[in-house]
Amino acid sequence: MPSAPASRRQDGETELSPPEQAWQALRQAVDPFGMLSTPWRAQLAWWTHPQDLLQQANESWREALALYEHGVQRLLGVQPDDPVAPKTEDERFADPAWLESAGFDILKEGFLSLDHRLRTLNYHAPGLSPHEQQQAHFWVHNWLNAIAPSNFFWTNPSAIQRALETGGQSLQAGWANWLRDLKAGKLLMVEPDAFQVGRDLGTTPGQVIWRNRLLELIHYAPATEQVRALPLVICTPWINKFYILDLNEHKSLVRHLTEQGFSVFITSWKNPGAELQDLSFDDYLQEGLGEAVRVVREFCGVPQVHLVGYCIGGTLAATYMAWANRHYPAEQMPVAHWTLLTTLTDFTEPGEIGVFIDEDSLRTLDQLMARQGYLDGEAMALSFRLLRSNSLIWHYWVHSYLLGEPLPAFNVLFWNMDTTRMPRAMHAFYLREMYLKNRLVQPDALTLAGEPIDLDRITQPLYAVSAQDDHIAPWQSCYKIRESVNLAAPVRFVLSTSGHIMGIVNPPVSPPKRAYWVGEPGRNDSCEQWLAQSPLQDGSWWQDWTAWLHARTGEWVPAYPAASAQFPSLGPAPGQYVLEK
């Protein structure tokens, strides 16, 4: 019997019928993130569209026939082309045995054919919304990744060969690694004591010159006798710890900036517990970034600074720029120009993380945060690992347990596992108002710290950096900042090769490892038009950025000391907040 139609309440929201309410309640209780329900609904959708189902059945039959013919030829000693070739970046099937052995080749092709067919069925399920299709595809893809033959000893030729070569010692080591992770309560990517912040990471000299309940403000010691008059204030993401921009002396953006003659300040955010659950986005705007800008201006005795924002720190920086352009008279604007690093301001297409953003998921997160007072960093880390489960989960499953290898001592992985918590009020607001409702780009739809927020009020020059392979902040979405800021605002846009982290942690090296596109987009240029007319340059965008900064950050002045009488040292960098677990 068809369910009663949904109606509209006076506030404009859809009122669900009783059967729909019951379904929503059941899903929220049992499967709030759609792990099982969205793939199931996708399969049911095909049965309600028989003509489309028949077409897919024909495609499935053709693929099955191609797979059968491939298997027969392999058993007869012929080596034809693969019906479904693994992607070049798919290391699961890199071992030559997957191609040379008929049995392993047939197993591989059977799995890849199943993977391709099921993902296609879920991604194109008729009658579902794009978000439901994305969710169904995401979860089916993750289930398939989990059952890949490379994840099991007897169907992984590399694991079998390693066991034979080591006389079974690799299996003993794998068992020890499994016990290690069982004790830790998670699949480790790096040993917890592989590095120490302040000794191996975050080592650029500096002083904590300001501290409140939200952040420590670090000023790095000058590396040159003279610096540019306008200091740089870097607003880091509080989803992770700040030292991603100061990994070591070879991969430190802040060290590079100080060596180029800039005075650099950076935010190190508090790792909040339940006692700070009421911290709001307003607090991060005023007590966080607003206070950092104020302190830096007073410390250096300058009317303006250059503001840099990375990831969610960039979202806060964009919000602050709109807020400050409304709050201050033009002649008192505290930021002269600004930089965004892989930052979303328009969340229409937020990337793969969007699979977790809907009302059911957010209600579940709200309930979880209400009980704890925060969102635990491990929960957030797991969601990001699921976005790249082959490389961030199953890679370590295979290498740790099946091959018995020790964990690599990789500083980026250590930083990635050094998680932080999100305060309840702020994170609920951020997910709902920006990701779900996309209100940051809607003029005056948000009122923060007493001011309506409109990005079109921003007229200051902007340098914006995105990354080609960024699955957290897709570069096409980052590009939309050009559409949001005022037409009078000069914008220089950069697209770096690599992803969300390595596209930014991208020091100049010889020979160059990476490249970037750079140019000034017109107001009406689409991202495709901008890319087509922008030159590709080898090397790091850091050099282009520092040249852009030198032209705008004032005259050379005697270097500011790391601390001062007005703002004495509260301790050496990297400070105390970054050490909190």
Report which secondary-structure segment, H or E, holds 141: helix 130-146
- Tokens for 123? 């991604």
DSSP E strand stretches across 388-539? 422-423, 446-448, 451-453, 462-467, 491-496, 515-519, 536-538
Please report, as a single letter, which amino acid is at residue 206: G
The answer to whether the CB of 170 falls within 8 A of the CB of 542 is no
The answer to whether the CB of 207 falls within 8 A of the CB of 563 is yes
CA 202 – CA 215 distance, rounded (Å): 16
Q: Could you tell me which residues come within 8 angstroms of residue 192 by beta carbon, excluding any fewer than 6 positions away? A: 184, 417
How distant is the alpha carbon of residue 329 from its chain centre? 35
- Tokens for 177? 């690694």
Q: Which of 300, 311, 478, 527 is catalytic?
A: 311
Bridge-based pairing state of the strands 335-341 and 264-269: unpaired
> Quick one: which of 415, 438, 245 has its CA closest to 348?
438
Residue whose entry in the numeric block shows the structure tokens 């392999």: 74
Report which secondary-structure segment, H or E, holds 561: none
CA 396 – CA 407 distance, rounded (Å): 8
How distant is the alpha carbon of residue 322 from its chain centre? 24
311 is catalytic: yes
- DSSP assignment of 237-275 equals -TTS-GGGGBSSTTSBHHHHHHHTT--EEEEEE----GG
- Give Cα separations from 13 to 10, 32, 36, 127 (angstroms): 8, 20, 27, 22
The catalytic site residues sit at 311
